Structure 1
Amino acid sequence: MKRLIALASACLLAPAVPTAASAATAPAPHVVRVMPLGDSITWGVGSATGGGYRQPLADLIAQQSAYTVDFVGSMRNGPGSDAENEGHSGYSIDQVRASVDRWLAMARPDVVLLHVGANDLDHGSQAGAADRATALVDRIFADRPGITVIMQGVVPTSPGLNNQLTSGQLAQYNDRMRQLAPVEQQQGRHFTFVDGPALATAGASVPEMVDGLHPNDSGYARMARTFYGALQADYSSGWFSGGAPIPQGPLLASAMTGHTAHLYRVTADGHIETNDGNYDAGAWNGWQQLPGSLVVSLSATAVGDTVHLYAVTQDGLLHTADKNYATGAWSDWRYLPGSRIESITSAATGTTVRLFAVLRENGVPRTADQDYGTGAWTDWHDLGGSQVSQLVAATTRNTVHLYAVTQDGLLHTDDGDYGAGSWTGWHDLGGSLVTSLAAAGTNDTVHLYAGTQDGLFHSADGDYSTGRWNGWTSRPGSLVAHLAASADRDAVHLFASTTDGLTHSQDADYGRPAWGGWYNL
């Protein structure tokens, strides 16, 4: 098996995807995904704009150039386009903990800004509050090892909504959480506790609170400065670095049976929809919803007339379902071995589907095989490497070509010859700022498609019989969020979701060669 010459080292491509012009510009700072997590103070109650501490914190972050921030969460409140958060008014610590698994799985934050405990203390649940907060912190690290958690203490001057809180109760809770920091750090966890500011109460001549619990905009600005100082210190310590932005738009997966493309997409609420395109008849049958929910990653591979669908749910578990398109029969979803999975991709050689997963805690790629001829399943094993954010796979003959985007937006490849039972090992493929990727094989050539941080779309072809790539080509299209591709004879059917939530298709006929135009599905 020939090993392809890396694009960059072969001087077939400017060092940065997509163009020489973009290579001349300074690299964009990494994007750090930050989840503000807590109760009504995180939501911004008492703030005139609804931005709470998040708005002044964003202003402070904008004054430095080492990184940018994308606030993430299922809630929105406040001005501007970046108002996401997980601030839930009235929530106790245990109520936050009950949903935190789902929130973290959907948002995939690098940093959590935690502010909880005010409602427990205010509602007379002081006993055990620090223990409950500790359990929440431990849950966050269990869900996302390697994450940075910055906890700001409850405002020490809060009298409570009914003036029932004492300074001693507040200090006891804050002291316990402050003592947690060295304990967590001894376990290798990135946990910081910072004291909340002593805000002037609502009755002061220059108040910094609107009532017994909630800051006003002046108070929120002080909270923002407290969080910002901790963010800067933890960034300087190398606790987090961020990466390329995660595209927003429907996740896509596709597979071919005969000359029919089966396209699957994950909606914003985690459900799966499917649409079948018969390229002989030139018709699509329209989107239909499939059973299943809470999906965060999806892959599809065909063996004969059957498409095997693989879905990772918010809890990091892996599930599979099959559809026989000759009979129209669907199987029920069932669990597959594997847990704490971030994303999944797959490819087939013969009757065996090769599964490739990225682990949630460290970005390590793993593989396992499901032989649908014999029903045999192999155990997972590591492929080497770490900090992978996305994998795609394509097959030429008996070889699976695996392509990985790492968290810094760089592109790498590894080839597995399943006839010989060997892998070449990871090597750089050139390119940068990659945020989405798809691949499909025709004969001895893999066609690789990349969306970049600017939302543009590019392609490159690798001939594995000669070991050469033809270099990246910029293609029409913009606002690209996610890509999928399926080979059909000498053609590839390419699918793209865009950041406006739409799904599009384009065909590349490599026999002629000719490219069609994009059309909306």
Structure 2
Amino acid sequence: MLRRAYLLVVAIICATDVVNASTLGRRSINNGLELKIMPLGASIVYGTDSTDGNGFRLRLRDLLESGGNKVSYVGKDDFMILHQVPPTDRLHSLGTAFHGNMSNNACEAYPGRTIDEADQHALHSHAYKYLPNVVLVHLGTNDCMREANETAGEAADHFSTLLSTIKEQDADTLVLASTLIRNLVPSVDQCIAAFNDRLPSIVRKARATGQKVELVNMHDAVPRSDINSTDATHPNDAGYAIMARIWYEGLVNASALISPPNSTGKGAPVTPSAAAELRHTSSVMFVMLVVWVVLA
């Protein structure tokens, strides 16, 4: 009798999982609203340590498109105007806007950069000219890695400034901000926890100014077992898949705040072919060489 009851419970759980898996990607956002998404952050948003280089972006797009939403990712507007970038930071500001083996793989991601640095880079890159209707932000891990020079409180202040920058550039875009995922280095993880504790208050204050911003909890969703043990920082493929699901659920929950893309914004960039990518890379190397000579 107990065995039959046990088997019945298992069957119910399995059936529920099947239903959840089959319906997860079928929830359309605003009846198939077009989504122009700018993923903003550092190396985790870039997709570092994912086997395909796409990080969470491909899985997120698949979930959204399976529900009937057309999705395009936007990022850097090709090369930045170099004279607008501080001379000491020009080399770090160059590079491709594309990463991963997926089509439409643009992102506004700066590996190794802090919140304040990414904030400035995004301005100089003219990425906001795309006028995305969604900005995904996971940013601050590098601030905690530099905790000797910056506290969690200072990083939180920079995050507040970043939200203000986004609002100034496009007050109608929805910002989906994320708590930082765990780090396997204890001191860094402690700083991350302190930073995450400040985010709800920052988001509430931004909302009070009229900004459309919501917070999702990546920290509790991505377990330590899905953090790369080699660098202690980036998710593995399973971790990135969880991030995609959390972003997706956050967008579904905040769907009432998402407006259609502004028609005056630039169209999404086209993913370069292998030949175009080679030319792009060669151009980047040439410009970097010129800048290096100028700075020398």
TM-score, scaled relative to structure 1: 0.39
Q: Flag the structure with higher helix content.
A: 2
Give the Cα separation in 1 of the matches to 2:177 and 2:197: 12
Whether 1:105 aligns to 2:128 is yes
Give the Cα separation in 1 of the matches to 2:188 and 2:268: 43
Task: Go from structure 1 to structure 2 and tell me whether the alpha carbon gap of 1:247 and 1:172 turns closer, same or farther (over 3 Å shift).
Answer: closer
> In the alignment, is the contact (CA less than 8 A) between 2:50 and 2:240 conserved in 1?
yes
- Aligned-CA RMSD value: 2.3
> In the alignment, is the contact (CA less than 8 A) between 1:35 and 1:113 conserved in 2?
yes
Give the Cα separation in 2 of the matches to 1:108 and 1:115: 19
Give the Cα separation in 1 of the matches to 2:195 and 2:250: 20
Question: What CA deviation, in whole Å up to 9, does each residue of 1:141-199 have, x standing for no partner?
Answer: 011111111111111x3124xx43243x2222112112222222222210111111443
Give the Cα separation in 1 of the matches to 2:128 and 2:223: 38
Question: What CA deviation, in whole Å up to 9, does each residue of 1:286-339 have, x standing for no partner?
Answer: xxxxxxxxxxxxxxxxxxxxxxxxxxxxxxxxxxxxxxxxxxxxxxxxxxxxxx
Shift of 1:135: 0.6
Whether 1:87 aligns to 2:112 is no
Q: Which residue of 1 aligns with 2:23?
A: none
> In the alignment, is the contact (CA less than 8 A) between 2:74 and 2:268 conserved in 1?
no
Q: Which residue of 1 aligns with 2:184?
A: 159
Question: What CA deviation, in whole Å up to 9, does each residue of 1:260-282 have, x standing for no partner?
Answer: xxxxxxxx9xxxxxxxxxxxxxx
Shift of 1:96: 0.8
Structure 2 unaligned regions, length at least 5: 1-30, 77-96, 270-279, 281-296
Q: Quote the sequence identity (%).
A: 27
Give the Cα separation in 1 of the matches to 2:196 and 2:212: 18
Give the Cα separation in 1 of the matches to 2:266 and 2:142: 33
Say which one has the larger Rg. 1
Q: Which residue of 2 aligns with 1:227?
A: 247
Shift of 1:100: 2.2
1:11-410 aligned within 5 A = 29-65=32-68, 67-74=69-76, 75-102=97-124, 103-124=126-147, 125-127=150-152, 128-155=154-181, 157-160=182-185, 163-167=186-190, 169-198=191-220, 199-201=222-224, 204=225, 207-210=226-229, 211-235=231-255, 237-242=256-261, 247=267
Task: Go from structure 1 to structure 2 and tell me whether the alpha carbon gap of 1:185 and 1:191 turns closer, same or farther (over 3 Å shift).
Answer: same
Give the Cα separation in 2 of the matches to 1:222 and 1:139: 28
SS in 2 for 1:35: strand
TM-score, scaled relative to structure 2: 0.66
Task: Go from structure 1 to structure 2 and tell me whether the alpha carbon gap of 1:177 and 1:247 turns closer, same or farther (over 3 Å shift).
Answer: closer
SS in 2 for 1:188: coil
Give the Cα separation in 2 of the matches to 1:197 and 1:31: 28
Aligned length: 213
Shift of 1:119: 0.2
Give the Cα separation in 1 of the matches to 2:206 and 2:157: 14
Question: What CA deviation, in whole Å up to 9, does each residue of 1:347-367 have, x standing for no partner?
Answer: xxxxxxxxxxxxxxxxxxxxx
Structure 1 unaligned regions, length at least 5: 1-27, 250-267, 269-521
> In the alignment, is the contact (CA less than 8 A) between 1:197 and 1:223 conserved in 2?
no
Aligned-partner residue type, residue 236 of structure 2:
N
Aligned-partner residue type, residue 151 of structure 2:
Q
Give the Cα separation in 1 of the matches to 2:32 and 2:218: 29
SS in 1 for 2:188: coil
SS in 1 for 2:156: helix
Question: What CA deviation, in whole Å up to 9, does each residue of 1:104-147 have, x standing for no partner?
Answer: 33322111100110000012123401001111111110111111
Give the Cα separation in 1 of the matches to 2:179 and 2:199: 8
Question: What CA deviation, in whole Å up to 9, does each residue of 1:184-234 have, x standing for no partner?
Answer: 222221011111144333xx4xx4435311001100111111111111122
Q: Which one scores higher on RCO, CA 8 angstroms, separation ≥ 6?
A: 2
